[in-house]
């Protein structure tokens, strides 16, 4: 099975983008693969809100010029962040495929709507790395996360609040037998086969899907040995999963992303929402 060879890391701005970018670098070093760091610069024409007839052409031009200037400054700051991080770590830059057999990176600037560009470019990456944002403080980041999950067809790694030193030494899998959880396991296989410890967190029962025993057998075919722990699905299952992951010292949580809507402004299911809001470790999701 082909492994993870290229990662798309999304940097919205220099402040919030450092953690997801450097999280992608941690994975890149582990898997010795390429990291494409993407910043999407808003189209000034789309950045100007809809206005009525009272707004003059001069006012619209001025607003577009401000949006253009701010977008340029944000893009330059993201590029400087990338250059500084690569310089400090000695990361080879702008390497062409098939790569060097070690981690490499490239900065990519696109113009448009961030969620649409990420979904499109994510389809030709093996893994997408994003910051978590929040629906209250960073609604655009959440829209990008939702769209990446629903429309890219790729697993999404949601970065933790801080950059971890390692990812994938101890992996917890939240398992309920669903197709979403199965796709998340497949998306994480490159890391699972390298992990020192894999713990299967069985959430409730999986009578309606593949059993935990079936997953253990499947992973064994990949030479992955895992422990099994049962997690109650009563009450706050998301909190129970995070506690169990913390108890086993996991540095990565793998789980399916469950949603209640296929609309762009979708509502994330309760378990996924709680995990995204409270996780202290990176979470690899697949829908």
> Within this chain, do residues 92 and 176 fall inside the same structural domain, yes or no?
no
Question: What's the pLDDT at 49?
Answer: 59
Task: At 40, give phi and psi (nearest 5°).
Answer: -105, 115
Domain of 79, CATH number, reads: 3.40.50.620
Whether 83 is covered by a domain: the verdict is yes
Whether 164 is covered by a domain: the verdict is no
Whether 1 is covered by a domain: the verdict is no
Residues 124-170 pLDDT 10s: 999 999 998 765 556 788 889 999 999 999 999 999 999 999 999 99
Residues 32-47 pLDDT 10s: 999 999 999 988 777 5
Centroid of chain to Cα 47 = 25
Number of domains the chain contains: 2
- pTM (predicted TM-score): 0.91
In eight-state DSSP terms, residue 92 is -
> Within this chain, do residues 101 and 142 fall inside the same structural domain, yes or no?
yes
> Within this chain, do residues 174 and 145 fall inside the same structural domain, yes or no?
no
Residues 59-81 pLDDT 10s: 767 777 888 888 899 999 999 99
Q: Which of 100, 135, 158 is the last residue of a domain?
A: 158
Please give the residue range of the domain that contains residue 271. Answer: 170-286
> Within this chain, do residues 102 and 222 fall inside the same structural domain, yes or no?
no
Whether 163 is covered by a domain: the verdict is no
Q: Which of 158, 188, 217 is the last residue of a domain?
A: 158
> Within this chain, do residues 101 and 27 fall inside the same structural domain, yes or no?
yes
> Within this chain, do residues 146 and 174 fall inside the same structural domain, yes or no?
no
Question: 196 by DSSP, 3-state: which?
Answer: coil
Q: Which of 158, 180, 199 is the last residue of a domain?
A: 158
> Within this chain, do residues 195 and 263 fall inside the same structural domain, yes or no?
yes
> Within this chain, do residues 113 and 240 fall inside the same structural domain, yes or no?
no
Residues 209-244 pLDDT 10s: 789 999 999 999 999 999 999 998 777 889 999 999
What is the Cα Rg of the chain in Å? 20
Report DSSP letters for 114-178, one per residue. Answer: HHHHHHHHHTTSSEEEE----TTT-HHHHHHHHHHHHHS-S-EEEPPSS--S-SSSEEEEEE-S-
């Amino acid at each position: 099975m082909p492994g993870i060879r290229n990662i798309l890391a999304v940097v919205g701005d220099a402040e919030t983008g450092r953690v997801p970018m450097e999280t992608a670098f941690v994975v890149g070093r582990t898997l010795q693969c390429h990291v494409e760091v993407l910043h999407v610069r808003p189209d000034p024409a789309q950045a100007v809100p809809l206005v009525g007839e009272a707004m003059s052409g001069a006012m619209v031009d001025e607003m577009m010029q401000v949006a253009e200037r701010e977008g340029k400054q944000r893009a330059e700051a993201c590029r400087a962040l990338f250059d500084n991080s690569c310089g400090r770590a000695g990361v080879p830059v702008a390497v062409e495929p098939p790569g060097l057999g070690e981690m490499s990176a490239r900065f990519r600037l696109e113009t448009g709507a961030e969620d649409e560009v990420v979904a499109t470019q994510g389809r030709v990456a093996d893994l997408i790395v994003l910051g978590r944002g929040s629906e209250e403080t960073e609604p655009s980041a959440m829209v990008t996360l939702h769209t990446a999950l629903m429309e890219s067809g790729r697993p999404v790694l949601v970065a933790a609040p801080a950059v971890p030193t390692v990812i994938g030494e101890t992996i917890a899998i939240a398992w309920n037998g669903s197709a979403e959880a199965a796709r998340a396991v497949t998306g994480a296989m490159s890391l699972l086969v390298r992990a020192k410890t894999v713990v299967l967190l069985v959430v409730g029962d999986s009578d309606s899907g593949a059993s935990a025993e079936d997953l253990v057998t499947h992973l064994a075919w990949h030479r992955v040995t895992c422990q099994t722990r049962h997690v109650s699905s009563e009450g706050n299952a998301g909190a129970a999963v995070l506690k169990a992951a913390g108890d086993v010292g996991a540095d990565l949580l793998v789980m399916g992303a469950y949603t209640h809507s296929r609309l762009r402004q979708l509502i994330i299911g309760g378990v996924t929402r709680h995990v995204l809001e409270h996780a202290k470790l990176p979470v690899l999701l697949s829908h």
